[in-house]
Structure 1
Amino acid sequence: MAGRKNGLGRGLDALFPEKKSAVKESVKKATVKTENKTVVPEKTTDDTTEESNRSTIGHKKTAMIVKISSVEPNVNQPRKQFDEDALLELSESIKQYGVLQPLLVSDKKDYYEIIAGERRWRAAKLAGLKEIPVIVKEFSEQELVEISLIENIQREDLNPVEEAMAYKRLIDEFHLKQDEIAERVGKSRTAVTNAMRLLKLSEKVQQMLIDEMITAGHARAILSIADKEKQESIAMKIFDEKLSVRETEALVKRMLEPPKTAKKSKFSSAEDAIYESLEEKMKSIMGTRVQIHRKKNDKGKIEIEYYSKDELERIIDLFESIG
């Protein structure tokens, strides 16, 4: 995975700059219990400032221990894919040290809905925990989307399609502009625009991107092709032939080039048919495009195309084996 992106350190402060984040506070078990949850006052030191005694979201430094069965994920959160190996690794850490950062949740009366921390919740369930620390806070629907998006982008947990869908939701449902989204998530407007362009790909190609069969660089190159079936054909070619992004860009460029105007043949239709047959025969042998350019007096030249260094070496090996 690529390194952390610059500009994302602001996190939830991008939404609530006047306060600091409560989800970074550690939790001490409490002595005050109710039937379903335990209020846990957080330990502070003498030199703790008044500012640090407030959460980013306006609460005092307190968390609750609740039954893990009473906590549920937000079905509308941007992230849909979770790395199973990473979850298992986190669950082992939780078995040893517990959940060190409380989840940020919303009280839905019958249950607590996760605002931030679904990965910790999933890992805690894998670890067999019966209880989990949470901080309760109410947000608007737009704030919920923004917080989930920021948290996941900071952790680089979203795949490119999930990120693009989250941006689209902020625009469609909450009428934010791309520059406003860029400000909130700490990215450039161009980065947000390029991310959203991926939604123009066919659903099959988007799924290949989610499944890491192709990269975002490949996907952006394919975007130049409007036809969805051609997009899928190119994506499969990238996967099957392990094409690099540069090779993909060259392939797309060739596909977009206007066809050359056919010159009037100087030869008879019978001769044309013979040479076309020879071209096809050479194509089947070479495994690539071959053209025979005829001249007068039975002269001419043969043009053999290749699309990568590996393909050139394969053609050379073929000639050597014939020799």
Structure 2
Amino acid sequence: MNFKDKVKSMKKTSVANATGSDAQVTDVKENTATPTIEEGSLNPLAKRETKNIVSGSHLESIDIDLIDPSPYQPRIMNKRVYEKLPILAADIETNGQINPITVRQKGNRYELIAGERRFRAIKEILKLKRITALVKTSMNDDKAAITALLDNTARQNLSDFESILKIKQLCEEFGYPFESYEFVTEKFAIDKSKYFRLKYILDLPEFILDSLNEDPELISGYIAQEVNTAINKALETKTEKAIFDLLRPEWDKYVEEFKSTGKRHKGFIAILSEEEKANKATKPEKTEEATTEEQPSKIKFDFKTDKGVKFGSMSSECGTKGKSVLKLRVALDADITEEKARKIEEFFKSLND
């Protein structure tokens, strides 16, 4: 008996043995029409899902050929994703489709919102004609785009690169203030620390971003932060070109290693610190003949309240290429809002005028 025959004769089954987070059983009898699914035809898990359905939505078994891909899909469908589809398809064939995909109605057709991998596994591998879907009858582009992102994020299988790339694209498309962490964290349901961590990815060198477009799993936001920190430190003594010339071969080796192991690490940036150590080891000692003019000038200053209580300090010294390097340490009782941060930014800009 093939799988289609199994579906036709399927009875209510237990889903206690479901093995995948995306593989979920929906006991749907195949029909030539596109009927709304009655609660009595659903297994226990699917029945539970129906309790979360709000007005303007309904479960339906629909013709899979009537579903169009989403222009807002955040997932990059690369080789690694496709290689895992047969596992998901086998799980669905064994246990059924528990979680419906989510679509929105657009005329006589539907647009996929959430469930890209389930949709592809059922259509491209299992070759089924119908699929269980939660149909949204009224959903605008804004809501559809954010729902697609949040669905993937909630399943914890969307990479940091895909997340920040899609957030930035949606902000540009719908006119959202991407630089406002208060808006972005509330709109896309992420915490402040994750927002800033993800933003480090966008500051990576182009050759790393190019690799991430091919395999977004290569590095996380945490590693991106480490990479940017290492690059900024190296910029104190080297040009950007010199740094990238050192980093690129190490990055290429890491990419090949990741293809084999699938394990992330930050070892490829060690070349920058090793180069710094080598420079220090070969740097000649300063002689006593050095003049005072050659020594970098230093300034130390304490910040105090009107009552003379210290709440911070600042030190300044001459860095490379004639630049001043400031080190600040301040403890404040008040929260630093975005508005206050902008004022601090404007103050430092004014120092360059």
TM-score (norm 2): 0.55
1:248 to 2:247 alignment? no
| Paired position in structure 2 for 1:179 | 182
Question: Shift in Å at residue 81 of structure 1?
Answer: 2.8
- Compared CA separation, residues 232 and 64, structure 1 to 2 (3 A): farther
- 1:98-145 CA distances to partner (integer Å, 9 max, x unpaired)? 322211101122421111111110110211211111121132222122
1:207 and 2:207 correspond: no
CA distance in 1, matches of 2:111, 2:162: 20
Structure 2 gap segments, 5+ residues each: 1-21, 43-47, 233-239, 258-263, 290-353
1:117 aligns with 2:122: no
Tell me which residue corresponds to 2:99.
101
Q: Give the Cα separation in 1 of the matches to 2:167 and 2:226.
A: 21
**CA displacement, residues 54-103 of structure 1 (integer Å, 9 cap, x when unaligned):** 5444246x421111111122022211235223211110122223322211
In structure 2, the CA distance between the partners of 1:130 and 1:113, relative to structure 1 (3 Å rule), is same
Q: 8 Å contact 1:32–1:39 — kept in the other structure?
A: no
Deviations 1:146-170 (A, max 9, x none): 2111111122222222111122134
In the superposition, relative to structure 1, how do residues 135 and 232 fare at CA in structure 2: closer, same or farther (>3 Å)? farther
Gap runs ≥5 in structure 1: 1-22, 46-50, 267-323
Who is 2:146 aligned against? 146
Counterpart-to-counterpart distance in 2, 1:102 and 1:213: 26
1:249 & 1:171 partners in 2: Cα distance?
Answer: 35
Cα distance in 2 for residues equivalent to 1:187 and 1:130: 37
From 219, 224, 229, give the equivalent of 1:219. 224
Aligned-pair Cα RMSD in Å: 4.0
Instruction: Encode CA deviations 1:7-30: one digit per residue, 9 max, x unaligned.
Output: xxxxxxxxxxxxxxxx99964436
Equivalent position amino acid for 2:39 in 1: E
* Distance across 2 between alignment mates of 1:167 and 1:232: 31
| Whole-angstrom distance in 2 between the partners of 1:203 and 1:221 | 16
Aligned equivalent of 1:70: 66
> Based on CA coordinates, which of the two structures has the bigger radius of gyration?
1
- Structure scoring higher RCO (CA < 8 A, sep ≥ 6) equals 1
- CA distance in 1 between counterparts of 2:155 and 2:242 reads 34
* Alpha-carbon distance between aligned partners in 1 of 2:245 and 2:217, rounded to the nearest angstrom: 12
Is the counterpart of residue 234 in structure 1 residue 238 in structure 2?
no
Structure 1 match to 2:55: 58
Is the 1:218–1:248 contact (alpha carbons within 8 Å) kept by the matching residues of 2?
no
Q: 1:197 to 1:70 in 2, by over 3 A?
A: same
SS in 2 for 1:183: helix
Aligned residues: 235
- CA deviations over 1:197-254 (Å, ceiling 9, x no partner): 2112233202334537853344333324373784474143144277952672672595
Q: Distance in 2 between matches of 1:26 and 1:98?
A: 4
TM-score after normalising by structure 1: 0.59
Whether the 8 Å CA contact 1:30–1:39 is kept in 2: the answer is no
